[in-house]
């Protein structure tokens, strides 16, 4: 009578395939739940982010000063903007003769040249009256002030308009983590 042996590899392979598939599915669901991917389309955040770079955005976080955030455009609802938070609830922001003051202290010095993308009557680019931010309000700027469309033009943003925080960028160079 021939002796039968059980194939012990079949259950192991089957279990491995099931666990691998479940892991990939779980990873996909979690990544879609907690992260966004965004491609930089202009130079408004240069030199930090350049056109063509891809940015990984964390959806759930508590926005803080100096965070680079992805937000809904207050003007064009179908667009998003990548900007840096420079003031948050309780902060006072003011621009006098192209100088930005945060809590009555110079923040950047004279950062703005005479070049302007919008008419002065349309924006507070060079002179912004003193604003005190309330709960869940933020003032954002681009890193490239000359090409910027930011809070100097569209005003404060609310927390619910922030989609996430930039945490990683992908370039042709080694990665950079914030």
Q: What is the mean pLDDT of residues 14-32?
A: 84
- Predicted confidence band of residue 147 (pLDDT cuts 50, 70, 90): confident
Confidence of residue 112 (pLDDT cuts 50, 70, 90): low
> What tokens does 46 get?
């240069």
Encode pLDDT of 32-91 as tens digits.
789 998 999 999 999 999 999 999 999 999 999 999 999 999 999 899 999 999 999 999
With pLDDT > 90 as the criterion, what percentage of the chain qualifies? 51
Any idea where the domains of the chain sit in the sequence? 36-177
Say whether pLDDT at 92 is over 90.
yes
| Best-predicted range by mean pLDDT (29-43, 79-93, 105-119, 120-134) | 79-93
pLDDT tier for residue 1 given thresholds of 50, 70 and 90: low
Backbone angles phi, psi at 166, to 5 degrees: -70, 125
pLDDT-based confidence at 130, cuts 50/70/90? Answer: very high
**Cβ neighbours for 66, distance < 8 A, ≥ 6 positions apart:** 84, 85, 86
Question: At 116, is the pLDDT very low, low, confident or very high (cuts 50, 70, 90)?
Answer: very low
Measured between alpha carbons, how far is 132 from 90 in angstroms, rounded to an integer? Answer: 6
Percentage of the chain surpassing pLDDT 70? 82
Residue with token string 């989609």: 163
Q: Which CATH class, in words, describes the domain spanning 36-177?
A: mainly beta
Instruction: Report pTM.
Output: 0.78
**Average pLDDT across the chain, whole number:** 84
């Amino acid at each position: 009578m021939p002796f039968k042996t059980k194939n012990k590899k079949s259950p192991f392979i089957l279990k491995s395939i099931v666990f691998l598939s479940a892991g990939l599915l779980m990873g996909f669901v979690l990544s879609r739940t907690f992260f966004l991917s965004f491609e930089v389309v202009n130079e408004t955040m240069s030199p930090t982010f350049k056109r063509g770079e891809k940015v990984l955005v964390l959806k759930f976080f508590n926005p803080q000063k100096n965070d680079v955030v992805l937000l809904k455009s207050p003007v064009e609802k179908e667009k998003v903007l990548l900007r840096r938070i420079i003031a948050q609830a309780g902060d006072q922001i003011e621009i006098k003769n192209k100088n930005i003051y945060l809590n009555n202290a110079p923040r950047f010095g004279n950062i703005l040249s005479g070049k302007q993308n919008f008419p002065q009557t349309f924006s507070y680019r060079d002179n912004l009256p003193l604003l005190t931010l309330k709960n869940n309000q933020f003032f954002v700027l681009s890193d490239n002030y000359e090409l910027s469309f930011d809070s100097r033009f569209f005003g404060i943003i609310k927390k619910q308009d922030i989609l996430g925080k930039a945490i990683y960028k992908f370039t042709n160079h080694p990665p950079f983590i914030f």
